[in-house]
């Protein structure tokens, strides 16, 4: 039985400590900004006309596609709302909780490992595998909503089964998922450079000089492929890395200088402008040091 549809929310923050899962169906949806999460996301595409951007990679989705998105990856759906309704199931999982579900033999977070030679954002599976995953996702939504006796145990079991299936598909299936080749041109190299040097001084001018390309051409192509400006991408990447370091227990004053911000005041302003709270408030909330 198909699980119930939930009204869409622009919220990009988990309210529950372990995981959340929802089915959404929209006939019209305004543009979703380029964003990232502090948790893992599994996205089950069901219907509609959507191109999904993850970093510089663009995927024209087909019903049944599954996307795997790590906390370090900026992403954005581009929706054609004049087509059929946009329907999907979205699963958010706290990284620490997914580690708890793992064992010494089986690390369920492997499917998000950006360093793995088998890493992929897109799984385009056979019909039987798609149906199996969608049935488990629907059952998980129902268990989460029912709160019947044992719902927590069944939810944990279903969540474990979903991630076992995802990891098996990546680890045991010969590489052949339909994924786009990296776009031609300088943008992929620029992205790699920014990700490796985010803690150093970087600007559009310095990138233009380093890669021997016109800054106007770079700016235009970067915006087209990534969905944001070079400057904003650099700031977002620095903030992402700062958040990850703070989540690992480092204080805001220990973090900012290692993430490319010249001083704490710049870090504070950028963090508050992006997330609406101060770095200290984020740490207190994330690490349970609030009221």
For domain 187-286, the CATH class is mainly alpha
pLDDT score of 14:
85
pLDDT in tens, 132-170: 999 999 999 999 998 899 999 999 999 999 999 999 999
Contacts of 200 (CB under 8 A, 6+ apart): 260
CB–CB of 280/252 below 8 Å?
Answer: yes
Most confident of 35-39, 114-118, 144-148, 164-168: 164-168
Pair type for strands 19-26 and 40-47? unpaired
Return the number of other C-beta atoms located less than 10 Å from residue 64's C-beta.
Answer: 19
Phi and psi at residue 73, in whole multiples of 5°?
Answer: -105, 125
| Percent of residues, the chain, with pLDDT higher than 90 | 58
Kindly tell me if the per-residue pLDDT of 176 is higher than 50. no
pLDDT score of 6:
67
pLDDT in tens, 227-245: 889 999 999 999 999 998 9
The whole-angstrom separation of Cα 229 and Cα 116 is 28
pLDDT score of 150:
95
pLDDT band at 56 (very low <50, low <70, confident <90, very high): confident
CATH superfamily label, 19-172? Regulatory protein AraC (2.60.120.280)
* Rounded to 5°, angle at Cα 69 from 68 and 73: 150
pLDDT score of 178:
47
Across the range 36-42, mean pLDDT stands at 94
Contacts of 240 (CB under 8 A, 6+ apart): 36, 71, 72, 74
pLDDT score of 217:
93
Average pLDDT, the chain: 88
The whole-angstrom separation of Cα 48 and Cα 106 is 35
Per-domain residue ranges of the chain:
19-172, 187-286
Look at the pTM and tell me if it is higher than 0.75: yes
pLDDT band at 13 (very low <50, low <70, confident <90, very high): confident
């Amino acid at each position: 039985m198909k699980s119930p549809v939930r009204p869409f929310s622009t919220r990009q923050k988990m309210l529950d400590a372990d995981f959340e899962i929802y089915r959404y169906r929209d006939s019209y949806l305004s543009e979703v900004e380029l964003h990232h999460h502090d948790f893992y996301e599994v996205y089950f595409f069901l219907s509609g006309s959507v191109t999904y951007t993850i970093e510089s990679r663009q995927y024209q989705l087909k019903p049944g596609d599954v996307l795997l998105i790590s906390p370090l990856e900026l992403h954005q759906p581009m929706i054609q709302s004049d087509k059929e309704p946009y329907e999907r199931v979205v699963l958010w999982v706290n990284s620490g909780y997914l580690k708890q579900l793992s064992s010494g033999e089986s690390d369920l977070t492997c499917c998000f490992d950006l360093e793995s030679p088998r890493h992929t954002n897109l799984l385009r599976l056979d019909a039987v595998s798609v149906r199996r995953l969608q049935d488990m996702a629907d059952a998980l939504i129902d268990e989460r909503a029912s709160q019947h006796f044992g719902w927590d145990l069944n939810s944990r079991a279903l969540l474990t089964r979903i991630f076992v299936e995802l990891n098996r598909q990546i680890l045991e299936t010969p590489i052949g998922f339909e994924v786009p080749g990296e776009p031609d041109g300088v943008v992929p190299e620029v992205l790699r450079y920014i990700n490796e040097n985010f803690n150093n001084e970087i600007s559009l001018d310095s990138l233009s000089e380093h890669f021997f390309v016109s800054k106007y051409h770079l700016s235009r192509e970067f915006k087209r492929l990534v969905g944001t400006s070079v400057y904003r991408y650099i700031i977002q990447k620095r903030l992402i890395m700062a958040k990850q370091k703070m989540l690992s227990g480092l204080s805001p004053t220990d973090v900012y200088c290692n993430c490319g911000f010249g001083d704490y005041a710049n870090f504070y302003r950028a963090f508050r402008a992006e997330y609406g709270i101060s770095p200290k408030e984020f740490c207190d909330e994330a690490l349970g040091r609030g009221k």
